[in-house]
Structure 1
Amino acid sequence: MALRMMLQTRFLSLRLQVRPFSSLYLPILEPSNDAESISKILLHHYNPFHAMESSLQLHGIALTPQLLHQTLLRLKHSTKIAFALFNYSKSLPSQPLTPTSYHLLIDLVAKVRQFDLAWQLIIEMDQSNLSPTPTTFLILIRRLISAGLTRQAIRAFDDIEGFTQTKTSDEDFCFLLDTLCKYGFVKVATEVFNKKKQGFLPDTKMYTILIYGWCKIGRIDMGEKFLKDMMGRGIEPNVVTYNVLLNGICRRASLHPEERFERTIRNAEKVFDEMRERGIEPDVTSFSIVLHVYSRSHKPELSLDKLALMKQKGICPSVATYTSVVKCLCSCGRLEDAEDLIGEMVRNGVSLSAATYNCFFKEYRGRKDADSALKLYKKMKEEGLCTPSMHTYNILVGMFLKLNRMGTVKDIWNDMRESGVGPDLDSYTMLIHGLCEKQKWREACQFFVEMIERGFLPRKVTFETLYRGLIQSDMLRTWRRLKKKLDEESITFGSEFQNYHLKPYRR
């Protein structure tokens, strides 16, 4: 999954030069001892029934805008605490609030689907003379689309000009189309494009986004239709356009039996030929897409041969390229060859990624080789090879849950917390379900409550699994206490929580 996400990021959003969400003028995590101290104080000592200022004033901390931003970033998995800190900052004589502060909090609350609160913050910005900008709305739009609320997202896009008194740009329009396509709403994106394109200037970027969207849902025919349409309008495709089409042809193609694999490679070569006919040379991404096909087909020799061909043509493999080959070698049980390739990456100055190491962890998980997984994990941490990703932690937590190594699960979970990477909704869901399977109800309830307090709305299946398990185990009183906690928090989750009606369970 992590490899696929990394490849999609490189192959598809692909230097489209569409403004990515991460660069919507939001700050990034930077080293800050004060921010680390504040976040740890709040995470360990926050009490919703006592004033926040008591814990902060005891440590003599003065909030500046930069410090507030960095602290909010560190509280991204604890929305309630982040919101409490934000409200506390309003009471300070010298308020550290800026438009960026609001943008960060809007992103945090919208991520956990508290959209009413996000709108309240936008209105509050307007009333506080911190005028909302198109960026404010694009942050919200991205989160609305990710939640499947496309109509609300389009209405929010239409509200930009009224709220900000700023005309939406071609770049803003591209962002809307790109986000719709990224989350699979390509038909909606096409309707929006056809309806609004008169107000914008269609170009290679917009068409490439739509080609990407249709290819993403497996409609290669529609992707090719848009390619012909753009060329018919005199708009020239570029290498990114062809890479998007190439990836569409290869990404979901069935590769078994052998005839399907060969057909996919032939179709890919046709795209290469058309690129060259138009004077466009395939680049590292083009080759990486085909390499990923070899990887999926478990053809290590062809993968290594294609990698060698790239080098002969003077094309430097990227981390995604190497990771495809590493994944292929690992899945075929050739771990030593994969380790040699890691060494080559280091020698060539290619930065290692967590996705590369996840290939090894997945193979160890399949083999139930706990010792090798732990050895590699410790090596990653101690030698600073790269920071484990959320997916890395989730693979390891899931693996050791299955092996009933609860002490190791606890250690990895604590590492994940301390690193600031997580846990996220998937982490909590996996851990709670794993504890329920082992009938560790006390621990499951503990993490369930913690999950809610951090602002994550558990999935309905998690509610039902815990509910049935507690009733079957004659722990009705525990469920009642848990249900009371849920009812107390229902305001936080708004209307979405109201849909979670649990039917009485009959044993």
Structure 2
Amino acid sequence: MALRIIQTRFLPSRIRPFSSLNIPALEPSNEAESISKMLLHHHNPFHAMEASLQLHGITLTPHLLHQTLLRLKHSSKIALALFNYSKSLPSSPLTPTSYHLLIDLVAKVRQFDLAWQLIIEMDQHNLLPTPTTFLILIRRLITAGLTRQAIRAFDDIEGFSQIKTSNEDFCYLLDTLCKYGFVKVATEVFNKKKHGFLPDTKMYTILIYGWCKIGRIDMGEKFLNDMVGRGIEPNVVTYNVLLNGVCRRASLHPEGRFERTIRNVEKVFDEMRERGIEPDVTSFSIVLHVYSRAHKPELSLDKLRLMKEKGISPSVATYTSVIKCLCSCGRLEDAEKLLEEMGRNGVSLCAATYNCFFKEYRGRKDVDGALKLYKKMKEEGLCMPSIHTYNILVGMFLKLNRMEIVKGLWDDMSEYGEGPDLDSYTMLIHGLCEKQKWRQACQFFVEMIERGFLPRKVTFETLYRGLIQSDMLRTWRRLKKKLDEESITFASEFQNYHLKPYRR
């Protein structure tokens, strides 16, 4: 997790992060909170007219609609019902941004046919799709591994939007491909289309990152030499990407391998200085992550002190790497001191930093420590738990069979709008199956489907086998009927589960 924070500082995805694709950010809104909670608690996915009954008397403005859709990010079916209701209003609040939000929501649960229908519908309602519209869809297609469809969607941008794709749009395509490990596809696209764009430092940095991400440092260095040969100057971001590649997949044990990695790091630092590029806070954070992985708490603390002596202020990623190292080595008191230092230095705390402590508490099965820190997070309001925080805690208390705490965490997760997501449901259902709590597992399985999440096949099969072996054939039939109904009313994906009746 610490490395993920480090990456957000310098990776090329910062060129055009998803949050800047004309997508509004979540803002405080009592009205949006009330509407989303009302729909989540009372909406029946089989009654499309229910939304209009519940929202009677409420004036939906574009801003209110957008904020409500953002709060329904884990409930695509309810979001779709609200969207369709908005279309029926005399003064429709729908804008291109409304479509963008819904396209992202439905594409997130792999409803790609519906996403394309929405794009075509935009065109029909004189709300011309823009490159942003397609980039949102492209991101979700690549996430699902549908790279060829994503490239075809990129090629369709100019035909639909009548706007020429820019260098920034092309960078976004390459970066998303690389981010999800499709660097060979990204390189192929770059070589094929680069003559229509102007290759620059950003493009090359993206590709260097992609090759380093899959452990091909040699290819990363090749692209670095290629860009220098073309007269394109690398910058500190380019070198940080290469530095991250040298460090991220290196095996650090036995001791000789750790020392070799540090020597390679120093070589990159030397080359940077030869080009007049000074290592920055991100450069040091990457090295600190290596010390953390190698469980070198003293070296981590020494490097942190060196940074401060050089006048480089540690970032949240820097502190998180050191705290992670201290926690994994059992030095919780030292980690807590650093946490206090972050607050004194005005460094914004993040959930990933707290997650280091929660993982250590999980390993120790320390219920009191985990609950005390969780309570402190909520009460002090310095940092809200993330979905990953909740998943760590739910998994921990599931294994400890503390179901009353699991229920409280699950309710909090829903209340704060952090989830649950697909991973949350999967973990909870599998945990309940292990404890043979079949009825509760079925209840959450149905809830998962109604909220628009497609269960993983292993989840369905685990529940199926457990019900049959526990002689709960009637429950299994009701569950299968529910699944069949969903495949008719919402999507055809559920029909991919071809499970024949169990035979003893």
Provide TM-score, normalisation by structure 1: 0.98
- Deviation (angstroms), 1:284: 0.2
- Deviation (angstroms), 1:54: 1.1
1:132 matched to 2:119? The reply is no
Query: Counterpart in 2 of 1:325?
Result: 322
Matches within 5 A, 1:85-484: 85-484=82-481
Please tell me the residue identity of whatever aligns with 1:53. S
Query: Counterpart in 2 of 1:54?
Result: 53
SS at match of 1:52: helix
Q: Aligned residues, how many?
A: 502
Query: Counterpart in 1 of 2:8?
Result: 9
- Deviation (angstroms), 1:56: 1.1
- Asked whether the equivalents of residues 487 and 493 of structure 2 are also in contact (C-alpha less than 8 Å), the reply is no
- Asked whether the equivalents of residues 2 and 289 of structure 2 are also in contact (C-alpha less than 8 Å), the reply is no
- Asked whether the equivalents of residues 413 and 419 of structure 2 are also in contact (C-alpha less than 8 Å), the reply is yes
Deviations 1:345-378 (A, max 9, x none): 1110001110000000000000000111001101
- Asked whether the equivalents of residues 141 and 156 of structure 1 are also in contact (C-alpha less than 8 Å), the reply is yes
Deviations 1:268-289 (A, max 9, x none): 0000000000000000000000
Q: Aligned partners of 1:261, 1:492: CA distance in 2, in Å?
A: 56
- Asked whether the equivalents of residues 65 and 98 of structure 1 are also in contact (C-alpha less than 8 Å), the reply is yes
- Asked whether the equivalents of residues 143 and 180 of structure 2 are also in contact (C-alpha less than 8 Å), the reply is yes
Gaps of 5+ in 1: none
- Deviation (angstroms), 1:496: 3.6
Q: Aligned partners of 1:30, 1:506: CA distance in 2, in Å?
A: 53
Q: Higher mean Cα deviation, 276-285 or 495-504?
A: 495-504
Q: Aligned partners of 2:302, 2:22: CA distance in 1, in Å?
A: 42
Change (3 A) 1:266 1:370: same
Matches within 5 A, 1:63-82: 63-82=60-79
Deviations 1:72-111 (A, max 9, x none): 0011111100000000011111100000000000000000
Gaps of 5+ in 2: none
Q: Aligned partners of 2:453, 2:246: CA distance in 1, in Å?
A: 37
- Deviation (angstroms), 1:505: 3.4
Q: Aligned partners of 1:4, 1:86: CA distance in 2, in Å?
A: 37
Q: Aligned partners of 2:97, 2:130: CA distance in 1, in Å?
A: 11
Q: Aligned partners of 1:428, 1:355: CA distance in 2, in Å?
A: 21
Please tell me the residue identity of whatever aligns with 1:167. K
Deviations 1:323-358 (A, max 9, x none): 000000000000000000011111100011100000
Please tell me the residue identity of whatever aligns with 1:212. Y
Change (3 A) 1:110 1:371: same
Provide TM-score, normalisation by structure 2: 0.98
- Deviation (angstroms), 1:506: 4.2
Query: Counterpart in 1 of 2:24?
Result: 27
Q: Aligned partners of 2:426, 2:32: CA distance in 1, in Å?
A: 28
- Deviation (angstroms), 1:394: 0.2
| Aligned alpha-carbon RMSD (Å) | 1.1
Q: Higher mean Cα deviation, 192-201 or 491-500?
A: 491-500
- Deviation (angstroms), 1:298: 0.3
Change (3 A) 1:492 1:287: farther
Please tell me the residue identity of whatever aligns with 1:8. Q
- Deviation (angstroms), 1:299: 0.3
Please tell me the residue identity of whatever aligns with 1:51. E
- Deviation (angstroms), 1:42: 0.7
Q: Aligned partners of 2:331, 2:143: CA distance in 1, in Å?
A: 38
- Deviation (angstroms), 1:491: 4.0
SS at match of 2:461: helix
Q: Aligned partners of 1:260, 1:491: CA distance in 2, in Å?
A: 56
- Deviation (angstroms), 1:17: 4.8
Q: Aligned partners of 1:365, 1:138: CA distance in 2, in Å?
A: 39
SS at match of 2:191: helix
Deviations 1:418-446 (A, max 9, x none): 00010000000000000000111111000
Q: Aligned partners of 2:7, 2:275: CA distance in 1, in Å?
A: 25
Q: Aligned partners of 1:493, 1:311: CA distance in 2, in Å?
A: 56
Q: Aligned partners of 1:464, 1:353: CA distance in 2, in Å?
A: 37
Query: Counterpart in 2 of 1:18?
Result: 15
Q: Aligned partners of 1:215, 1:396: CA distance in 2, in Å?
A: 33
- Deviation (angstroms), 1:493: 6.3
Q: Aligned partners of 2:3, 2:501: CA distance in 1, in Å?
A: 41
- Asked whether the equivalents of residues 483 and 494 of structure 2 are also in contact (C-alpha less than 8 Å), the reply is no
- Asked whether the equivalents of residues 113 and 493 of structure 1 are also in contact (C-alpha less than 8 Å), the reply is no
- Asked whether the equivalents of residues 8 and 14 of structure 2 are also in contact (C-alpha less than 8 Å), the reply is no
Please tell me the residue identity of whatever aligns with 2:482. K
Deviations 1:290-323 (A, max 9, x none): 0000000000000000000000000000000000
- Deviation (angstroms), 1:41: 1.1
SS at match of 2:50: coil
- Deviation (angstroms), 1:504: 4.0
Please tell me the residue identity of whatever aligns with 2:399. K
